[in-house]
Chain A
Amino acid sequence: MKREKRNYNFILGAGLILFMLAFLLIGCFFTPYDPDAMDGGAKLAGPSLSHLFGCDHFGRDMLSRVMKGTGTTFFVALTTVALGGGLGIFIGAFTGYFGGWVDEVLMRFNDAVVSFPPILLALVFISLLGPGKYNVILALAIVLIPSFARITRSEFLRQREMDYVKSARLMGASHLRIMFVHIFPNALSSVLSMAAIGFNNAVLMEASMSYLGIGVQPPDASLGRMLSESQTYLLSAPWCAVFPGAAVILLALGFSMLGDGLVKKGGR
C-alpha cells in the first residue's frame, strides 16, 4: 500500500480555513470602507489601490462587503453545524446506544430524509418559515440533523459492544457517563469529519439560498446576494462576481479538504 507521508488535504484545508477566518475576523473589527457607504463617483470602479476588489453598482467597496459577507456566511454555517450537529449527535448517540424500536423507527425515517437532496429540503422549510437569516439557520440545521445522527449512531453501535464499555459498566458508570465520557471521544474523529462536510454543505446552501433571494436579507451583506446583483453588470464589472464567488469557493474548498484530511487521519 502506498501512503502519502503528509496529509496535504488536512494541512491545506486547515490553512485555507485559517486564512478565511483571519479575513473575516479582521472584517468584524476593521474594514477599509464602510461596507454600506455608497460613493456615487466610484460606481462599478475596477480594482485599484484604493479599492482592491473594485466597487459595486452603488459604489460600495467590494473588499469591505466581501469581508462582511464572508462573516455572515461563516456565522450561518457555524450556528447551523452547532445546532444541527448537536441535535444529530444527541439523537444518534441515544438511538445507537439503546437501540430498540425507537431506533428502528427513527432510522427508517432518517433513511427516507437522507435520500432527498438537501437543497430541496431546505427550500421546503424556508417556504414554511419564510425567508431570513435565522430561518435559513433553522432550515439548514434541520437538514443536517439526519446525517449527523446516522454517523454518530453507527459509531455508538460499534463501540457499545467493546470491552472498555463493558468494563466501565461493571465499574458502575451510568449510561450517560459511558455515552459521553467513554464512547464519545472515540467517535469524535468521524463526527469531526462529518462536521467539516456539514460546514461545506452549509456554506454552499446558504450562498445558493441568498442568491435566490430567500436567504439572508439586506441590510446584512451576503455573498449570495452580491453574486445575484453582480449578474446585471457582469460584462462591465466582472469583479463584482469574481470576488464574492472566490470567497464562497475558498470557504467550501477549505472545509471539504479539511473533511477529507480528517477522514484520512482517523481512517484505518
Chain B
Amino acid sequence: MKYLLKKTGTLIITLIIVSFFSFLAFSIIPGDAAKSRLGTEATKEQVEMLQKELGLDKPVLVQYGNWLKNFVTGDMGESYSYSMPVQELLQDKIPVTIALTVMAFLIILLLSVPLGIFTAQHEGQWLDRVIMVLNQIVMSVPGFFLGILITFLFGLVLKWFTPGAYVPVSESFFGFLGYLIAPSAAIALPRCAMGVKMLRSAVLSQLEKDYVRTAYARGNGQRRVMYRHVLKNAMLPVLTFWGMTIADIVANSMVIEQVFTIPGMGSLLIASISNRDYPVTLGIIVLVASLVIVVNFLVDILYGRIDPRVRVRQ
C-alpha cells in the first residue's frame, strides 16, 4: 500500500513537471502568440487587447495553471492553422493511434515470447543461430523502410491490401482493422526482434542459477522448470522492456502513419511541426508524454505485484 502511494505521488509530480516544461517550451519560447496571430500590421493596442484576452499578460505560473485546468477538462486551445479547437482535431485521430498501438503490441507479444523461449531452449543449435542472425538484421531495419518493403511486397506485388486506401472506422470496423495489420507489423517486427533477444538472454542467465538445478534435482520436468520457475524470473526485465515498447510504438506510429497515409495523431503532429502550429504540437506531445508516464507507472506497480522484493527494497 505504501509502495502504491509513493508511486502515485511520483506519478503526479512527474506529470506536472513534464507538462510544465512542455508548456514552457511551446508557449513561451516561440514568442508572443498574440503578435504572431495578428501579424506585423497590428497596432500596439490591438496586441495588448489580445494579450489580455489570451491571458498572456499574467505571470507564467498563472498561465500554466489556467492551461492545465483547461487541458484536464479537455480544452487544449485553438489550432493556428486550422482555426478550430485542438481537441476536435484530435478526437477522431486518437482512436486510430490507439488501435495501431494495441495491434502492434499484440503482434510483439504473440511472436517474441514463443520465439524467445524457443531460442533459449535450443541455444547454439542451427535453428537458434538462424533465428538470431535474422533477429539481428531485423533489429536494424528502420520501421518506415520495413513499411515500404511491406507495401511493395504485400500491397503492390501480392495485392493483399491496397496501399493508401485507408478505411475509416465509421465505414467498416473490420476493414479498418484489416488496413492496420500491415502498418502494425511494420512497427512491431523490429521491436519483436529486440524482445526475442532480451527474453532469450534473460532465460539463459536464469538457467545458470542454482535454483534451476535444485528444481531439476527435485524431479521436475524440463517443461515445469521452464514455465514454473525460470520464466517467472526471466519475465522481470522483459516486463520493463515491454513498458518501454508501448511508449516506443506510440512514438514510432507517428512515422509509420506517414508511410501508409493513415490520418492518425502522427500525421497531425508532423504537419503541425512543419506549420509551427504550437497549440496542436503541445497538445499531442503532452498527451503522448502522459501516456508514456502512466504506462511506466503501471509497469512499476505490476513489477511490485510480481516481485515483492521491489516493494520492500524501496
CB pair B142–A256 under 8 Å, yes or no, is no
| Chain A residues whose CB sits within 8 angstroms of the CB of B202 once the complex forms | none
* A121 and B244 alpha carbons, distance in the complex (Å): 14
Asked if B174 is at the interface (CB within 8 A of a chain A CB), the reply is no
| Chain B residues whose CB sits within 8 angstroms of the CB of A253 once the complex forms | 136-137, 140
* A119 and B249 alpha carbons, distance in the complex (Å): 10
B150 to chain A, nearest CB (A): 11
A214 to chain B, nearest CB (A): 6
Asked if B258 is at the interface (CB within 8 A of a chain A CB), the reply is yes
Q: How many residues on A have C-beta within 8 angstroms of the other chain's C-beta atoms?
A: 38
A145 to chain B, nearest CB (A): 16
CB pair A227–B144 under 8 Å, yes or no, is yes
Asked if A72 is at the interface (CB within 8 A of a chain B CB), the reply is no
Asked if B124 is at the interface (CB within 8 A of a chain A CB), the reply is yes
| Chain A residues whose CB sits within 8 angstroms of the CB of B252 once the complex forms | 117, 119
Within 8 A of B (CB), among A90-147: 112, 115-117, 119-120, 123-124, 126-128, 130-131
* A173 and B285 alpha carbons, distance in the complex (Å): 48
CB pair B140–A213 under 8 Å, yes or no, is no
Asked if B113 is at the interface (CB within 8 A of a chain A CB), the reply is no
Given A112-B14, A211-B255, A123 contacting B273 (CB threshold 8 A): yes
DSSP class of B's interface residues: helix, strand, loop or mixed? helix
What mask results when residues 119 to 156 of chain B are scored 1 for a CB within 8 Å of chain A, else 0? Answer: 00000100000000000110111111100110110001
Asked if A186 is at the interface (CB within 8 A of a chain B CB), the reply is no
Asked if B23 is at the interface (CB within 8 A of a chain A CB), the reply is no
Of chain B, the residue at the smallest CB distance from A113 is: B18
Asked if B117 is at the interface (CB within 8 A of a chain A CB), the reply is no
| Chain B residues whose CB sits within 8 angstroms of the CB of A230 once the complex forms | 148
| Chain B residues whose CB sits within 8 angstroms of the CB of A130 once the complex forms | 276
CB pair B296–A249 under 8 Å, yes or no, is no
Binds B, one of A76-84, A150-158, A234-242: A234-242
B308 to chain A, nearest CB (A): 22
Which of B137, B142, B273 is in CB contact (< 8 Å) with A214? B273
* A234 and B155 alpha carbons, distance in the complex (Å): 10
* A21 and B292 alpha carbons, distance in the complex (Å): 37
| Chain A residues whose CB sits within 8 angstroms of the CB of B292 once the complex forms | 115-117, 120
CB pair A204–B255 under 8 Å, yes or no, is no
Q: List 12 A-B contacts (CB under 8 A).
A: A112-B17, A119-B248, A120-B247, A124-B25, A124-B285, A127-B281, A131-B273, A131-B274, A212-B258, A235-B156, A248-B142, A256-B136
Which residues in A have some Cβ–Cβ distance to B below 8 Å? Answer: 2, 112, 115-117, 119-120, 123-124, 126-128, 130-131, 200, 204, 207-208, 211-214, 227-228, 230-231, 234-235, 238, 241, 245, 248-249, 252-253, 256-257, 260
Q: What 4 pairs between A and B have smallest CB-CB spacing?
A: A117-B251, A253-B140, A252-B140, A120-B251
